[in-house]
């Protein structure tokens, strides 16, 4: 009882130890804690990498090589950080997918903050990918930052301001390093706001019904379940890091950035491929950029859909068609620019937006 | 998010006002954490899979068919047509 008088301990007890959680939440509700786990892993490994990394075009690529070859444990820090980003975003996609499936976007505050977190995470991942200053880092940065020129009238001025010059060069790398260091702290702060919103009502549950009379204490039930989820995901994560750490990497990034040599196939990491496919399939540059931005911004519109109702069979079928289409868009984003793949990407992009609209209205 | 609610009730007690709490417990000697995990769990897994199977499998099959068509069509377009060279000496 004396412990409960201390406001910090009371906060810990109220929001973790004795937090009321619905009795029937399944393993898909592990997503939040898994994202948090990988957030901590990324911050810690990133901290160690930043002790040896040099954010200058003359040194960046060689400093990463130095980390890999000379720094004690540097290779595993780098591989954990690079693959950790993949797992971090994979769990974010799973988390958003679960919220779409169980229609928990009726909680407007948590949903809006969550989409902002998605945008910040994708931005952070993009900034981080530029830092090794390999071929794909440089050319990926060039392609993505050039989208800003689609802004009418001021596009060129804004992109030159963003670059700190007339192309992606040292000032760009330097400021990308600064923002890649800063944004995770914004993500952590917004995650706390996200939790504030969720803890106002408590977690949702798979049946979508009122669960205030069917609660369990978070600890030990969901605490231990979350720890199990962490162990399982860390097992697969360390399998990847230990046996195939370059699986999600691109061979072009083993070459130092060369502004005079454009890679044959410029493509981003897998978590951006769905948006990349949508961008590439539209012949008009401005419309392509608009579609790319709208593919993420569209999620904000879910707050206008009608209040939650248990997902019907039709809703579930639409969801799974959309989800399989999302996987296909991801595959198409990695395909070379050939007629058949562009045609398929155009159909898939239409299905992406149309079926998201259906999810909002069904 | 209302800051007044957080200050009034405290983080973790932000929801409804709790009037009564009914706590169900069992003796630790009566608890078996893996009780029924095969006898009840396996049939439940079969039931849940059957209920969702077609809703997941049909879109997956359609997506795979589209992927297969795309890959084979592109492979065909990348090659010369053997029929054009049938009568070559």
Residues of A in contact with B11 (CB under 8 A): 11, 14-15, 196, 199
Q: Three-class SS of residue B39? A: coil
Residues of A in contact with B25 (CB under 8 A): none
User: Out of A19, A328, A340, whose CB is closest to B12?
Assistant: A19
Q: Is the pLDDT of residue B16 over 70?
A: no
User: Residues A294-310: pLDDT tens digits?
Assistant: 999 999 999 998 776 77
Q: What is the second-level CATH architecture of the domain A24-262?
A: Up-down Bundle (1.20)
Q: What is the second-level CATH architecture of the domain A267-361?
A: Orthogonal Bundle (1.10)
Q: Which residues contact A337 (CB under 8 A, 6 or more apart)?
A: A280
Residues of A in contact with B50 (CB under 8 A): none
The response to whether A95 counts as a known ligand-binding position is yes
Rounded mean pLDDT, A235-239: 97
The response to whether A199 counts as a known ligand-binding position is yes
Contact A15 B74 (CB under 8 A): no
Write the DSSP assignment of A189-215 as a string of letters. Answer: HHHHHHHHHHHHH----TT-S--TTSE
| Interface predicted TM-score (ipTM) of this complex, two decimals | 0.87
User: Residues A106-136: pLDDT tens digits?
Assistant: 889 999 999 999 999 999 999 999 999 999 9
Residue (of A63, A82, A74, A84) closest to A129 by Cα position: A82
Q: Which value, to the nearest 10 degrees, does the dihedral of the CA atoms of residues A115, A117, A120, A125 take?
A: -110
Q: Which residue of A has its CA nearest to B74?
A: A340
User: Residues A138-167: pLDDT tens digits?
Assistant: 999 999 999 999 999 999 999 999 999 999
Instruction: Let me know if A329 is exposed, middle or buried by CB neighbors in 10 A (0-12, 13-18, 19+).
Output: buried
User: Residues A251-261: pLDDT tens digits?
Assistant: 999 999 999 99
Q: Is the pLDDT of residue A3 over 60?
A: no
Distance between CA A47 and CA A272 in Å, rounded?
25
Distance between CA A86 and CA A88 in Å, rounded?
5
The response to whether A194 counts as a known ligand-binding position is yes
**Cα angle A240-A246-A248, degrees, rounded to a multiple of 5:** 80
Rounded mean pLDDT, B42-49: 95
**Cα angle A293-A298-A304, degrees, rounded to a multiple of 5:** 155
Domain with CATH 1.10.287 in chain A: 267-361
Rounded mean pLDDT, A211-239: 92
Q: Three-class SS of residue A216? A: strand
Q: Is the pLDDT of residue A101 over 70?
A: yes
Phi, psi of A338 (to 5 degrees): -125, 155
Contact A199 B14 (CB under 8 A): yes
Distance between CA A362 and CA A103 in Å, rounded?
11
pLDDT at residue A215 in the model: 86
User: Out of B16, B56, B66, whose CB is closest to A320?
Assistant: B56
pLDDT at residue A269 in the model: 95
pLDDT at residue A62 in the model: 98
Contact A196 B1 (CB under 8 A): yes
pTM of the full structure: 0.91
The response to whether A66 counts as a known ligand-binding position is no
Contact A18 B73 (CB under 8 A): no
Residues of A in contact with B59 (CB under 8 A): 317, 320-321, 323-325
């Amino acid at each position: 009882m004396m412990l409960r008088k201390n406001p910090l301990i009371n906060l810990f007890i109220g929001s973790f130890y004795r937090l009321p959680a619905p009795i029937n939440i399944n393993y898909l509700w592990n997503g939040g804690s898994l994202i948090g786990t990988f957030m901590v892993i990324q911050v810690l490994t990133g901290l160690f990498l930043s002790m040896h990394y040099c954010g200058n075009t003359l040194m960046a690529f060689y400093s990463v090589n130095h980390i890999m070859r000379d720094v004690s444990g540097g290779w595993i820090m780098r591989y954990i950080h690079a693959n950790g980003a993949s797992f971090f975003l994979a769990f974010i996609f799973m988390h958003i997918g679960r919220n779409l499936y169980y229609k928990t976007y009726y909680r407007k505050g948590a949903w809006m903050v969550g989409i902002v977190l998605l945008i910040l995470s994708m931005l952070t991942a993009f900034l981080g990918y530029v830092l090794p200053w390999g071929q794909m880092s440089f050319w990926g940065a060039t392609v993505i930052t050039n989208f800003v020129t689609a802004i009418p009238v001021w596009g060129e001025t804004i992109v030159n301001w963003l670059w700190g010059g007339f192309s992606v060069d040292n000032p760009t790398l330097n400021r990308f390093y600064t923002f890649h260091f800063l944004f995770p702290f914004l993500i952590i702060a917004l995650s706390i706001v996200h939790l504030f919103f969720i803890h106002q009502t408590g977690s949702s549950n798979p049946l979508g019904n009122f669960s205030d009379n069917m609660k369990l204490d978070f600890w030990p039930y969901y605490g231990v379940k979350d720890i199990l989820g962490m162990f399982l995901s860390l097992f697969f994560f360390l399998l990847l890091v230990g046996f195939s750490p370059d699986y999600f990497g691109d061979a072009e990034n083993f070459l130092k950035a060369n502004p005079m040599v454009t890679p044959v196939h410029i493509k981003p990491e897998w978590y951006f491929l769905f948006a990349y496919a949508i961008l590439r399939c539209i012949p008009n540059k401005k419309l392509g950029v608009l579609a790319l931005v709208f593919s993420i911004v569209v999620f904000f519109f879910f707050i206008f859909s009608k209040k939650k109702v248990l997902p019907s069979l039709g809703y579930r079928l639409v969801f799974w068609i959309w989800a399989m289409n999302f996987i296909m868009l991801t595959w198409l984003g990695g395909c070379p620019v050939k007629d058949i793949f562009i045609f398929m990407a155009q159909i898939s992009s239409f299905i992406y937006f149309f079926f998201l609209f259906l999810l909002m209205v069904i | 998010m209302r800051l007044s609610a957080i200050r009034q009730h405290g983080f973790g007690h932000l929801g409804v006002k709790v009037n009564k709490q009914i706590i169900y417990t069992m003796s630790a000697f009566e608890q078996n954490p893996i009780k029924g995990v095969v006898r009840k769990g396996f049939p439940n897994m079969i039931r849940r899979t059957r209920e969702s199977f077609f809703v997941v499998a049909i879109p997956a099959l359609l997506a795979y068919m589209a992927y297969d068509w795309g890959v084979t069509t592109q492979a065909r377009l990348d090659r010369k047509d053997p029929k054009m060279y049938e009568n070559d000496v």
